[in-house]
């Protein structure tokens, strides 16, 4: 394939392709297409100055030297594009190499796996960082919410946040300060939720500026979100290894709403694990727990079925278990 007008990262990967390896060649073509589809006319303008990788991928550090610096950006509020190499097959912050700690696993697009010089396979994750509006409450130095809305920008005037009693949140990621959902959570810990739509309704006095919205201490808000289901992993190795995980199903809540000090509603959840089907009905004002070691905020649910996991057969050669276990809690 021709790489004359390709991005340096694509050239690097192409240079390690064995001609007979058509699957890898096709993956690099997809990688180039991902650069083209990311939303910019000129792929060389993509900000890749913050390449991160979690394993010793030979030669990737030399690509970093060829990438443009983000210090030349003329608009600090513009969207930023980043690319990260990931060695874990499953995207998870609880698996070494499964995500970038700063980005919390938010991935716009994934291409791979790539194998170079018989090294472990790795994936390329494309990240688009977007500027968000911050919601502040007087007395709390950190924002309690980051979200995005559509605003009008007038020529010659800086962008500003309109003063509305209700804001319509556009499809994107919403970031919630975990401490408003559980008192023991760290103030700088934020929970990210991918949404299809949402609203933020405010009662009481508040002001707005270019950065966001500032509520008086006595004011209240309720945020109602329509959540996106987690997309199934693609381009992962097939075979018996990991088959049990691929066969599992998890449908997250569709609706999630909260205020400045509590969770109002979590809609129904259902899952299938080792051919066991579980479900939890919609719940209002659920109990929460902050898990320090996992750095996670848990929402306690109540199973509709008997709280027992039965395993009679596993498919992966790495896991051979059978028996029965009682489920004490589900979060």
pLDDT tens for 165-187 read 999 998 888 889 988 888 888 88
Within a domain: 37: yes
The backbone torsions φ and ψ at residue 44, rounded to the nearest 5 degrees and listed phi first, read -70, -10
**pLDDT of the residue at 32:** 59
What is the structure's pLDDT at 91? Answer: 53
Distance CA 10, CA 7 (A): 5
**Distance of CA 152 to CAs 78, 93, 159, 309, Å?**
15, 37, 8, 53
**Domain presence at residue 3:** no
| 204 or 15, higher pLDDT | 204
Q: Are residues 21 and 137 in the same domain?
A: no
Domain that holds residue 287: 132-331
Compare 196 and 161 and report the one with higher pLDDT.
196
In 3-state terms the chain splits into helix, strand, coil percentages (rounded to 5) of 15, 35, 55
Residue 124 pLDDT exceeds 50: yes
The predicted-structure confidence for 200-211, as pLDDT tens digits, reads as follows 999 999 998 877
Position with higher pLDDT, 79 vs 29: 29
pLDDT for the residue 3: 40
Identify which of 99, 79, 83, 15 has the alpha carbon closest to the alpha carbon of residue 50: 83
pLDDT at residue 244 is higher than 60:
yes
Q: How confident is the model at residue 218 (pLDDT cuts 50, 70, 90)?
A: very high
Highest mean pLDDT among 29-43, 115-129, 280-294: 280-294
Q: How confident is the model at residue 268 (pLDDT cuts 50, 70, 90)?
A: very high
CA 78/CA 8 separation, integer angstroms: 23
Domain count along the chain? 2
In a domain, residue 24? The reply is yes
Q: Are residues 136 and 122 in the same domain?
A: no
Percent of the chain with pLDDT over 90: 18
Q: Which of 4-8, 58-62, 259-263 has the lowest mean pLDDT?
A: 58-62
Measured distance CA(103)–CA(123) in Å, rounded = 16
Please check whether residue 1 lies inside any domain of the structure: no
The Cα 128–Cα 326 span in angstroms is 42
Q: Which range has the top average pLDDT, 179-183, 220-224, 228-232?
A: 220-224
Q: Are residues 178 and 263 in the same domain?
A: yes
What pLDDT does residue 57 have? 37
Q: Same structural domain for residues 182 and 41?
A: no
Q: Are residues 81 and 140 in the same domain?
A: no
Listed ranges 121-130, 263-272, 316-325; the one with the highest mean pLDDT: 263-272
**Mean pLDDT for the stretch of residues 59-72:** 37
Contact 142, 186 (CB under 8 A): no
2 within a domain of the structure (yes/no): no
Higher pLDDT, 206 or 295: 206
Domain match, 60 and 117 both = yes
What average pLDDT score do residues 237-247 get?
Answer: 75
In a domain, 159, yes or no: yes
In a domain, residue 203? The reply is yes
Please give the residue that has the higher pLDDT: either 191 or 131. Answer: 191
When comparing pLDDT for 177 and 28, which is higher? 177
202 and 106 within one domain:
no
**Mean of the per-residue pLDDT values of the chain:** 72
**Is the pLDDT at 243 greater than 50, yes or no?**
yes
Residues 178 and 165 in one domain: yes
125 and 136, same domain (yes or no): no
Least reliable range by pLDDT among 47-51, 209-213, 241-245, 254-258: 47-51
- The residue with greater pLDDT, 60 or 33, is 33
Q: Would you place residue 89 in the very low, low, confident or very high pLDDT band (cuts 50, 70, 90)?
A: low
Residue 93 has pLDDT above 80, yes or no: no
């Amino acid at each position: 394939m021709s790489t004359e007008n390709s991005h340096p990262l694509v050239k690097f990967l192409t240079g390690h392709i064995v001609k007979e390896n058509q699957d890898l060649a096709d993956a690099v073509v997809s990688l180039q297409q991902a650069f083209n589809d990311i939303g910019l006319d000129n792929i060389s303008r993509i900000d890749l100055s913050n390449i991160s990788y979690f394993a010793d991928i030979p030669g990737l550090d030399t690509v970093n030297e060829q990438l443009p610096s983000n210090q030349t950006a003329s608009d600090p509020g513009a969207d930023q594009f980043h690319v990260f190499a990931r060695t874990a097959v499953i995207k998870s912050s609880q698996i070494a190499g499964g995500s970038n700690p700063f980005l919390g696993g938010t991935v716009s697009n994934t291409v791979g796996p790539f194998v170079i010089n018989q090294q472990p396979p790795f994936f390329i994750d494309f990240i688009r960082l977007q500027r968000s509006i911050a919601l502040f409450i007087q007395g709390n130095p950190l924002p309690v919410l980051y979200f995005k809305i559509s605003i009008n920008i007038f020529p010659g005037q800086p962008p500003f946040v309109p003063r509305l009693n209700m804001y319509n949140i556009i499809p994107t990621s919403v970031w919630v300060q975990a401490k408003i959902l559980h008192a023991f959570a760290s103030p700088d810990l934020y929970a990210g939720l991918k949404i299809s739509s949402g609203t933020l309704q405010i009662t009481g006095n508040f002001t707005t500026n270019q950065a966001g919205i500032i509520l008086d201490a006595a004011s209240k808000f309720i945020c109602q979100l329509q959540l996106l289901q987690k997309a199934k992993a693609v381009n992962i190795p097939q075979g018996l290894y990991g088959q049990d995980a691929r066969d599992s199903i998890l449908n997250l809540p569709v609706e999630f709403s909260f205020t400045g000090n509590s969770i109002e509603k979590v809609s129904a959840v259902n899952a299938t694990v080792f051919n066991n089907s579980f479900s939890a009905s919609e719940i209002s004002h659920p109990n929460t727990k902050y898990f320090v070691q996992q750095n996670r905020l848990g929402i306690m649910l109540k199973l509709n079925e008997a709280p027992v996991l039965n395993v009679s057969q596993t498919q992966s050669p790495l896991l051979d278990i059978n028996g029965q276990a009682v489920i004490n809690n589900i979060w």
